Amino acid sequence: MPINLKDLARRGAVARIAELEQELAELRDAFPETGRPPHRKTRGRPARSVAASRDAAASGDAGEHGDSAQPARGGRKKRTMSAEARARISAAQKARWAKQKRAK
């Protein structure tokens, strides 16, 4: 009678999966807090969903923290760069690329 290696491997795999599932269940019982995703630390106030912000803006509701539905910048002026500064950055980057190309 020939030995069917594939069948033996499948049986071994099924047995090993059962062992691993049992071990996983034991670990979850011993450490129940590991079953939850890790707590994400946020900076400042909790983030709002786009829909919640839109609904708050539509209703004029300031929310539980007293925040209004304003953009994250808080009304600060948008920072712009002068044409001269953009040109300097462009030239510096092109020089870096040329240096990299020469090195190859």
13-30 pLDDT tens trace: 999 999 999 999 998 888
Residue 63 DSSP symbol? -
Q: How many Å apart are CA 85 and CA 63, to the nearest integer?
A: 41
DSSP secondary structure string for all residues of 4-67: -HHHHHHHHHHHHHHHHHHHHHHHHHH-GGGGSPPPPP-SSSPP--HHHHHHHHHHT---TTS-
- Note whether residue 48 is domain-resident: no
DSSP reduced 3-state for 6: helix
> Which is more confident, 38 or 101?
101
- Note whether residue 75 is domain-resident: no
- Note whether residue 94 is domain-resident: no
Work out how many domains the chain is built from and give that number: 1
Domain of residue 9 covers: 1-36
* pLDDT at 36 (0 to 100): 64
**Global pTM?**
0.33
